[in-house]
Chain A
């Protein structure tokens, strides 16, 4: 039985985009074309980003905010102009609200430490949801353990969608902060974040969004969302690894103590008293990941030039197409069938463990993720030890979805004879 497939979009020139990504043109495993479907883990980098890193080290490398010499001025200007790029990209009010971190994980840990330890006390509650990545669970657990606070978890339905009524019930007078993913890395579910933020605010709770899987797929406007904190990683949006962002409303960031002490985050230091630097430098102790910051700005410029709406349109087309095609495979079950999804498909194949699927696909040059996706509680919710996960990015094609389906048919062949 062949499913009826949606019509192909033609406006989006994916072949032209693919030419910007050198790694997509290498062969692996004895001449197989790379089919990279692990974008929710990390994305590949366009030539523009790679070139930017080379240019930084060839022409601009210096420490920032310190020297009076020429290169330090150039590096500082590049670093600070990247902050403006990020501010515009997520429509923050001010550059002061953009803190550079190592990634989403560090951004969340910054909030649990600097905001959480001051504002969450014994008997208070922190509310998260069942679809969270470990990075938006464990930092809150650490905080709750230290403070004697309670971590509460809003459940999801069998499609992997948040049950809003239950979420509403879990908002109590003790709920100090609500933290949830914009989109699920394991299932693809896109949360109704604007509504959830409004509900949390009506309850007097602060809101943090884990945007690691939101930023690559959705146009983010932090002022329109009205979230208090928004965390994301560069490497999931075609930027280098080791760089990320914490957006925070200025009033909140101002009231928070520093997260780490060191150079660059101070105004003056004596052994008696240290005065902290202004925002956002208060939260950027030590020499930062300068090349990561400038590389991220280039990546954001790159995707802005294509347009988030165009990217989303292309990815949604791939999602619909791949979902329909995967359903043709007997014994394949898609985990996560929310109405609103990012281009992530988690699945199991009857009688075949995901790791065996991963190994067999890899022999065909197809890269998917297998395992629990750093979301073990969610795997337990769906009663599976692990899943296979194909995640699509702006450069993937329908042909690659076809290659995945053909590869999975070979898996079935190997295992069922």
Chain B
């Protein structure tokens, strides 16, 4: 049960139940789909840019608690940030869920720290990272459907 609580932390359960920014963004300048066909996690990430600042970001779709809460926490984390900061956070998050050294304290990580338990569950890394890859793709102006399988 200890490991499970590590994975399904309160932040994750809360964001799964009540996902933030869970809506379409009519003013979005970018909209990219993320889809893991084998497990069925399927999201669309909407980004509204103001210069190089993420003015607003949202998502829609369905999937497991890990993928949905990760998408939700991502939107709350990168909203208002510059795109290069968002890319840096993507890099940090990637390291966090794959068990690499991040070099940041839990306080610095903020809500992202809730996903540190994912690294103990290799089969679920692709769930946690899907929305982030989708955001990355949107910021890189790529149009293709993103997958992390």
Residues of A within 8 A of B (CB): 351-356, 359-360, 363, 370-372, 385-386, 410, 414-415, 417
Interface pairs (21), CB distance under 8 Å = A352-B65, A353-B64, A355-B63, A355-B127, A356-B8, A356-B65, A359-B7, A359-B121, A359-B124, A360-B4, A360-B8, A363-B1, A363-B3, A371-B40, A372-B40, A386-B40, A414-B4, A414-B5, A415-B13, A415-B65, A417-B13
Closest B residue to A384 using CB positions: B40
Closest A residue to B7 using CB positions: A359
Which B residues are CB-close (under 8 A) to A356? Answer: 8, 64-66
Question: Contact at B65–A353, with CB atoms within 8 Å?
Answer: yes
Closest A residue to B42 using CB positions: A385
B30-87, CB < 8 A from A: 38-42, 62-66, 68
A216 → B minimal CB distance (Å): 24
Residues of B within 8 A of A (CB): 1, 3-5, 7-8, 13, 17, 38-42, 62-66, 68, 121, 123-124, 127
Which 5 residue pairs of A and B lie closest in terms of their CB atoms, listed nearest first?
A: A353-B64, A355-B64, A385-B40, A386-B40, A356-B65
**Once bound together, how far apart are the Cα atoms of A283 and B41, in whole Å?**
40
**Once bound together, how far apart are the Cα atoms of A360 and B123, in whole Å?**
12
Which B residues are CB-close (under 8 A) to A353? Answer: 63-65, 68
Which A residues are CB-close (under 8 A) to B64? Answer: 353-356
B27 → A minimal CB distance (Å): 29
Which A residues are CB-close (under 8 A) to B68? Answer: 353
**Once bound together, how far apart are the Cα atoms of A5 and B66, in whole Å?**
36
**Once bound together, how far apart are the Cα atoms of A360 and B65, in whole Å?**
12
Which A residues are CB-close (under 8 A) to B124? Answer: 355, 359
Which A residues are CB-close (under 8 A) to B17? Answer: 351
**Once bound together, how far apart are the Cα atoms of A371 and B63, in whole Å?**
11
Which B residues are CB-close (under 8 A) to A372? Answer: 40
Given contacts A353-B64, A355-B41, A356-B65, 15 further A-B pairs with CB under 8 A are A352-B65, A355-B39, A355-B63, A355-B64, A355-B127, A356-B64, A356-B66, A359-B7, A360-B8, A363-B3, A372-B40, A385-B63, A386-B40, A414-B13, A415-B13
A291 → B minimal CB distance (Å): 30
Which A residues are CB-close (under 8 A) to B5? Answer: 414
B2 → A minimal CB distance (Å): 10
Question: Contact at A359–B123, with CB atoms within 8 Å?
Answer: yes
Question: Contact at B38–A363, with CB atoms within 8 Å?
Answer: no
Closest A residue to B124 using CB positions: A359
Which A residues are CB-close (under 8 A) to B3? Answer: 363
**Once bound together, how far apart are the Cα atoms of A371 and B127, in whole Å?**
13
